[in-house]
Amino acid sequence: MFSLIQQTIRAARLFDTVLKRIGEIEATLATIDTKLATIDSKLERFEKLAQENESLWQFLDEQPDPEGIFAGSSQELDLHISDAMLRSIKTHGDA
């Protein structure tokens, strides 16, 4: 009889341990669910940004190529600007 009581107590403790573990797992799953919802909202935002980026690139590709835009290094641009400034300078007075 004593052995039966010990087995019952042991089974009750094991059952209690199982219930605690189930509670921990449920809490972990709730945390994971919250994180997944956050990740999902961020993913949607990034997808919208990617679509907007693609639309902007498509818009730029459709624009006609502008004529007369200087395309060179910064040194070439500086030289071009200084030449243009020197050509347009007018002296004043006895200089």
pLDDT digits (tens, 9 = 90+) for 11-54: 999 999 999 999 999 999 999 999 999 999 999 999 999 999 99
pLDDT reading at 67 higher than 90? no
Q: Are 75 and 85 in contact (CB under 8 A)?
A: no
Burial 18-54 (b: 16+ CB within 10 A, else e): eeeeeeeeeeeeeeeeeeeeeeeeeeeeeeeeeeeee
**Per-residue pLDDT at 66:** 65
Q: Which two tokens stand for residue 33?
A: 């669910």
Is residue 43 situated within a structural domain? yes
Indicate the number of domains in the chain.
1
Is residue 73 situated within a structural domain? no
- Burial class of residue 12, CB neighbours in 10 A (0-12, 13-18, 19+): exposed
Is residue 89 situated within a structural domain? no
Is residue 10 situated within a structural domain? yes
- Terminal Cα distance for the chain, rounded: 124
**Per-residue pLDDT at 79:** 87
Is residue 55 situated within a structural domain? yes
- Strand ranges (E), the chain: none
Is residue 59 situated within a structural domain? yes
Is residue 23 situated within a structural domain? yes
Domain extent, residue 24, equals 2-65
The secondary structure of residue 52, as a DSSP letter, is H
Is residue 71 situated within a structural domain? no
Which contiguous run of DSSP H or E holds residue 80? helix 74-88
Q: Are 62 and 56 in contact (CB under 8 A)?
A: no
